[in-house]
Amino acid sequence: MAQKVKLSTIGESLGVSTATVSLALRDSPLVAEATREKVKAHALEMGYIYNRRAASLRTSKSGILGVVVHDIMNPFYGEILRAIEMELDRSRQTFILSNHYDRVEKQRDFLETLMQLGADGVIMSPAIDTPASDMELLQKNGLPTVLIARSVPEVDLPVFRGDDKFGISLATNHLISLGHKRIAMIGGTDKTSTGRDRYEGYVEAMHKAGLEVKDEWRIVGPRTKAAGFEAAGQFLALPDKPTAAVCWNDLAAIGLMSGIARAGLRPGIDISVTGYDDLEEASIATPALTTVHNGQPEVGRLAARAMLDRIEGKHSAHGELTLIKPELHIRQSTSKVVERL
């Protein structure tokens, strides 16, 4: 590769100062129009590449935004990321991504990297058991932070997520209205706010309807298709044979339906199943999945918007919680109760 072209290279060959070149390239009105155009044409011709590191060192703005989630391969996060990407596309921010796989150390490593790169902010779905001190470190180092999907107890930061308790009650009540009385809850964990809130909402809805909730009817854990698939055996062997399953998310629900079908029963007919999230593939599954719209596009868009506003100094919002209103989408995976023999 040839000698690197920099501002001074352009300046010298044009007989102007680097300051002028710098201003011209950034469309400063301080520079005469004729000069500006001459500089720009020359920069293009010489194959000039702007050195962001140098600029960033000087201005302490990096144009980098961090995004951390549990796992980008999970379509729930994928759909949020897509919305973030779209919103950011209009700005000049580059976003850099990381999975934490719910390992606090991996998350910490990435946050440290962001600080080293002088990131302008971070949008994150915090790992399970994230200590408040990790979040405080970000504040101390001036890294604006916005939370998505999950809250961190005792931490005062803007959060964008769905109203889990209300959302799961929609699914549970729908099954109750179809005559189901023995309803199991599959998936999730008490270690996240979503896990706790959704279980609580399910229990409350059952009790309000005067229905019994058995501890054994809760299968803790599944969050993926594979895990939902594997849970089918356990579900079908549950005491008192529940006729329906409220799943913690769509992936577990789709996996569970597949497992039920393998066992020779018909999901949506013999066993009713609800999901949560309304992933794009929920409507494509067979049977199409009855599920709760959890607002991934809104969460991503609003979180990105809030971050951009903060970077642009529009306001320094503190700790408000924005709940997206869930909606029930009824499809073919739920139907009137059929007693199992």
List interacting residues with DNA (CB under 7 A). 4, 6-8, 15-20, 22-23, 25-26, 29-35, 48-51, 54-55, 57-60
Q: Is the peptide bond before 287 cis (omega within 30 degrees of 0)?
A: yes
> Closest CB to DNA among 15 and 153?
15
At 304, is the secondary structure helix, strand, or coil? helix
| Pick from 90, 66, 100, 69: nearest CA to 301 | 90
| Pick from 254, 270, 263, 274: nearest CA to 331 | 274
| Pick from 99, 53, 48: nearest CA to 72 | 99
Distance CA 180, CA 337 (A): 5
Which one of the spans 80-88, 199-207, 238-246, 309-317 is the region binding its own copies (CB under 8 A)?
80-88
Q: Does an H or E element contain 250, and which?
A: helix 250-262
At 217, is the secondary structure helix, strand, or coil? helix
Does 334 bind its own copies (CB under 8 A)? Our answer is no
- Pick one of its own copies, DNA, none as the site partner of residue 29 (Cβ within 5 to 8 A by kind): DNA
Tell me which DSSP letter residue 289 carries. P
Which of 30, 32, 52, 136: binder of its own copies (CB under 8 A)?
52
> Closest CB to its own copies among 29 and 313?
313
- Cβ proximity of 71 and 101 under 8 Å: yes
Per-residue mark of binding to its own copies, 162-201 (x: CB under 8 A): ----------------------------------------
**Smallest separation (angstroms) from DNA to the CB of 246:** 52
> Closest CB to its own copies among 15 and 264?
264
Extract the tokens encoding 139. Answer: 């504040």
Does 286 bind its own copies (CB under 8 A)? Our answer is yes
**Cα distance between the two ends of the chain:** 76
Which one of the spans 26-34, 191-199, 223-231, 291-299 is the region binding its own copies (CB under 8 A)?
223-231
- Pick one of DNA, its own copies, none as the site partner of residue 117 (Cβ within 5 to 8 A by kind): its own copies
Distance CA 142, CA 30 (A): 31
Which residues form the interface with its own copies (CB under 8 A)? Answer: 1-2, 47, 49-54, 56-57, 62, 72-73, 75, 78-79, 81-82, 85, 94-97, 99, 112-113, 115-118, 137, 139-142, 225-226, 229, 255, 258, 261-262, 280-281, 284-286
